[in-house]
Amino acid sequence: MEWLYLHMPISGVDLFWPGLVILGLGVGILGGFYGMGGAWMITPGLNILGFPMAFAIGTDIAHMAGKSIVSTIRHAKFGNVDYPLGIAMMLGTMIGFEVGAQIVMFLERIGKVDLYLRIIYLILLAFIFATVLLDYAKLKKKEKLAKEKGEQLDKLASGVTWYKTLHKIKIPPVMNFKEAQIRVSIWLPMIVGFATGVIAGLLGIGGGLIRMPALIYLVGCPTHVAVGTDLFEVMISGLYGTFTYTWKGRTELLAVFVMLIGAGIGAQFGAVATKYFKGIIIRVLFGSAVCIAALSIGQKLIARMYDLKWLDDVSTVTILGGLSILMVIIVVKAVIGMRQEVKMKKMGQA
């Protein structure tokens, strides 16, 4: 079975390449669907495959850059990427991230920072999950009320409408974001980007997990556009990260290629899959992923606090198992949608 192992020329290890392809495929589908880089999903998988951790981050970022190009191009074709909005957010994110990183350096002098930051991360994930649930419940209620009145709910209606309040702030310049179908002060995406950047910098994460819901609930982006625009940001930061991490000697290009085979196809599929899901369902599935991440982080936190090795393993199973279930749901629903579309097309031609 030697052919199943590939020798990595830089790190010098032999890796089970089908595992890398499958991991790439899974993360590609989820990343293309949710609009995230998904480093938090990849690291436990790479760990299991015995990937040398010194190369994990750089390899992960490089593959993330490659796959987010694929999904950004696909989302752009569907009209899901608002470039000006993405650029405005990125400006805020960059500054915010630097501020967050500086705060961490300051807090490190106090000590126990890691534990506090993990708790903050957990609270944040719980908050995002609660927001998604609230959004779903409110939207259902609105639908029910509209049905009782014999009306149909506006397609652009959403449950949580915090963005409507924020849209009232009209500090110039006010810009029209065509794809996102919003007209807001440019300061709104910049400030939201800044805030998400500070949090991402504080927590040491890429930020897609926070930016995606922030684009929906605070900026007022339709879900599909939030997914595409977020991926655009992931693409830019991923490309930058590829250079900086490689410069530090932390990228194993062969592994990037192998992962990209799965991730490129997965990202394309994940992006196309959004066609067959309503915005609210994407948000609910996103909330589920956030819930799984929170659960896994919580388990890891307890495992570290009480030195429980078995719980650490359970946290890996939680994240990989939970995300696999979500991936299956997305794939099945997308395949059903695709088959229906083809069937309708054939019926139209007949």
- The smaller minimum CB distance to another protein, of residues 113 and 122, is found at 113
The amino acid present at 12, given as its one-letter code, is: G
- For residue 179, which of 215, 135, 217 has the smallest C-alpha distance? 215
- The smaller minimum CB distance to another protein, of residues 253 and 302, is found at 253
Among 189, 264, 287, 298, binds another protein (CB under 8 A): 264
Phi-psi region for residue 146, left (φ > 0), alpha (ψ -120 to 50) or beta? alpha
- The smaller minimum CB distance to another protein, of residues 250 and 300, is found at 250
Contact 86, 178 (CB under 8 A): no
Interacting positions 304-333 with another protein (CB under 8 A): none
The packing angle between helices 279-305 and 309-349, to 10°, is 170
- The smaller minimum CB distance to another protein, of residues 53 and 325, is found at 53
Measure CA of the first residue to CA of the last residue in the chain; give whole Å.
Answer: 51
Among 279, 287, 298, 322, binds another protein (CB under 8 A): 279
| Dihedral sign for Cα atoms in the order 40, 45, 50, 51 | negative
DSSP 215: I
- Please choose, out of 121-129, 271-279, 296-304, 314-322, the segment that lies near another protein by the rule CB under 8 A: 271-279
Shortest Å distance, C-beta 58 to another protein: 8
- The smaller minimum CB distance to another protein, of residues 233 and 310, is found at 233
If one asks whether residue 253 binds another protein (CB under 8 A), the answer comes out as yes
CA distance 121 to 42: 18
- The smaller minimum CB distance to another protein, of residues 37 and 189, is found at 37
- The smaller minimum CB distance to another protein, of residues 325 and 343, is found at 343
39: Cα separation from own chain's centroid: 9
Contact flags string 42-81 toward another protein, x per CB under 8 A: -x----------x-xx--xxxxxxxxxxx--xx--xxxx-
Q: How many CB atoms within 10 Å of residue 28?
A: 32
Among 131, 185, 229, 268, binds another protein (CB under 8 A): 268
Element (H, E) at 280: helix 279-305
Contact flags string 209-248 toward another protein, x per CB under 8 A: -------x-----xxx-----------xxxxxxxxxxxxx
Shortest Å distance, C-beta 37 to another protein: 7
Interacting positions 157-176 with another protein (CB under 8 A): 157-158
Rg of the chain over all Cα atoms, to the nearest angstrom? 21
- The smaller minimum CB distance to another protein, of residues 274 and 299, is found at 274
The size of the interface with another protein (CB under 8 A), counted in residues, is 92
CA distance 279 to 285: 10
Among 23, 277, 298, 300, binds another protein (CB under 8 A): 277
Long-range contact set of residues 290-293: C-beta below 8 Å, sequence gap at least 24: 290/125, 290/128, 290/129, 290/132, 290/209, 291/125, 291/129, 292/318, 292/319, 292/322, 292/323, 292/326, 293/40, 293/125, 293/209, 293/319
Shortest Å distance, C-beta 222 to another protein: 5
Interacting positions 5-34 with another protein (CB under 8 A): 7, 9-12
Contact flags string 121-160 toward another protein, x per CB under 8 A: ----------------------------------xxxx--
